[in-house]
Structure 1
Amino acid sequence: MTELVRLSKRMSELGLCSRREADEWIARGWVRVDGKIVAELGSKVLPHQRVSVERQAAAEQSKRVTILINKPVGYVSGQAEDGYTPAIALVKPENRWPEDKVQTVFHPTQLRSLVPAGRLDIDSVGLLVLTQDGRIAKHLIGETTSVEKEYLVRVAYSKPGRLPDADLRRLNHGLSLDGKKLLPAKVTWQNEDQLNFILREGKKRQIRRMCELVGLRVIGLKRVRIGKVKLGKLPEGQWRYLRDDEEF
């Protein structure tokens, strides 16, 4: 490949930061290409050129926080909409889980550029990740992500008897949404009215729509894990910081 690409895009591909962060660092003169500072936004590079960042960029990135919330019903993941409160409103000192072991002291500046890395719809509860770190956001919601997300889903069957095994197999692999085949999932019975779903994609209201296709109605949906990070004992409506030893 010898095509020129935008420097910010190349930095994101290399996993250095998000494209938004890249533009910020370029403007501050914190980015070098083949050892020379490049401070002009929109600059382009060849794939073989060496891209590095100054210490200030790494220091700023290390201060960025990632927060885990146990989102209750009635909160939206992102921007406020239709009078509903965004989940970020829960991130305040009085809602911090008293058992949070991270030494970080909360400061309102941590709310700046704190964005949801994946959605959880208004009727669903459980693990929601908010982060200031573009690398984590890209890892969790980028186009090529393969991070598992695990859900406990309480269901009711709309027909007499129990869901046929053939339909359970279709939930695992064989359904399409919006004209596109879904990736294989892992769907098993947790108990007689609760399913365990493990997905590697996150289409809008995906689990609810999958269930509808086989005659199941979702009564409750809770996300309990993203990658290797579990909701654990975090109480509903409370939050904690991602620990240094935790990775998605």
Structure 2
Amino acid sequence: MSEPVRLSKRLIEQLGCSRREAELYIEGGWVTVDGIVVEQPQFKVQEQRIELLPGARAETLEPVTLLLNQPAGLDAETARASMTLASLSEAHREGVRPLHGHFARQACVAPLEAGASGLQLFTQDWRVTRKIDSEIRRLEQEYIVQVSGEAKASALERLARGVTYKGHELPKAKASWQSESHLRVALKNPQPGQIAQLCASVGLSVQGLRRIRLGGVPMGKLPLGQWRYVASSERF
């Protein structure tokens, strides 16, 4: 039996390609070992069958943006680590090729405030980071807010005109009842604690906070703890 060698080396021997091309084929998910896709160039092989999938391209992976329905109580780094091939939403697998490389160098943008749940965004794409950072003051965010207490509809209408709470001028917000204990609130660039202050200004206490939209990108029907790719057609 031959000595184990790196998968990239074996591919170079088979294809006559360069080392970089071999690495790109492998990292792009185009190489199988005995029928199983392997994405690590350093993976050791011996006599296994090494094949290149149809349509294989020796190209650098395009950067991707991931949207997670984050459970409350997680920090951004723990949330990022929770995204794996297994936690990709079943409803969002069609038409995508999830790869290990898609989880590398993912940066959190427009992060949730501490304790909140819902839409958390991670991206490898500097263009997405730049767009959101430059437009965050204008991007409307939408939340479902679990509250206790009572507030009249007229009180919620005041939020749309802007209110001051304990000497602080708060951002204008569109608020409506979704149920007896849940408000739907939309506002631009909320700072940590501001939604709680808005609710307090009309006699309500926040019990839970879940973001469901960032700009033009909604979370959609994404199960808690699962993630999906943000499509190139979606616009923040």
Question: What TM-score does the superposition give when structure 2 sets the normalisation length?
Answer: 0.66
With over 3 angstroms needed to count, the CA separation of the structure-2 counterparts of 1:71 and 1:177, relative to structure 1, is farther
- Cα distance in 2 for residues equivalent to 1:140 and 1:93: 26
- Cα distance in 2 for residues equivalent to 1:182 and 1:138: 26
Aligned to 1:71: 70
Aligned to 2:28: none
Correspondence 1:123 to 2:86: no
**The one of 225, 231, 234 aligned to 1:243:** 231
For 2:204, the aligned partner's letter is L
Aligned to 1:203: 191
With over 3 angstroms needed to count, the CA separation of the structure-2 counterparts of 1:205 and 1:139, relative to structure 1, is farther
With over 3 angstroms needed to count, the CA separation of the structure-2 counterparts of 1:137 and 1:73, relative to structure 1, is same
For 2:98, the aligned partner's letter is V
Deviation at 1:166, TM superposition (A): 4.8
| Matched-pair identity in % | 33
Name the SS for the 2:159 alignment partner: helix
Correspondence 1:155 to 2:147: yes
RMSD: 2.4
Name the SS for the 1:169 alignment partner: helix
1:173–1:182 Cα contact (<8 Å) kept: no
Question: What TM-score does the superposition give when structure 1 sets the normalisation length?
Answer: 0.63
With over 3 angstroms needed to count, the CA separation of the structure-2 counterparts of 1:176 and 1:76, relative to structure 1, is farther
Aligned to 1:167: 155
**The one of 212, 220, 243 aligned to 2:200:** 212
With over 3 angstroms needed to count, the CA separation of the structure-2 counterparts of 1:163 and 1:64, relative to structure 1, is same
Aligned to 1:44: none
- Post-superposition Cα deviations, 1:142-192, rounded to whole Å, max 9, x if no partner, equal 3664121111111111xxxx3144532332233347965333221112222
Aligned to 1:181: 169
For 1:64, the aligned partner's letter is P
Deviation at 1:69, TM superposition (A): 0.2
With over 3 angstroms needed to count, the CA separation of the structure-2 counterparts of 1:104 and 1:120, relative to structure 1, is same
- Post-superposition Cα deviations, 1:20-45, rounded to whole Å, max 9, x if no partner, equal xxxxxxxxxxxxxxxxxxxxxxxxxx
Aligned to 1:48: none
**Which protein is bigger by CA-based radius of gyration?**
2
Aligned to 2:220: 232
- Cα distance in 2 for residues equivalent to 1:196 and 1:245: 26
Contiguous gaps of at least 5 residues in structure 1: 1-58, 80-85
For 2:63, the aligned partner's letter is R
- Cα distance in 1 for residues equivalent to 2:225 and 2:175: 27
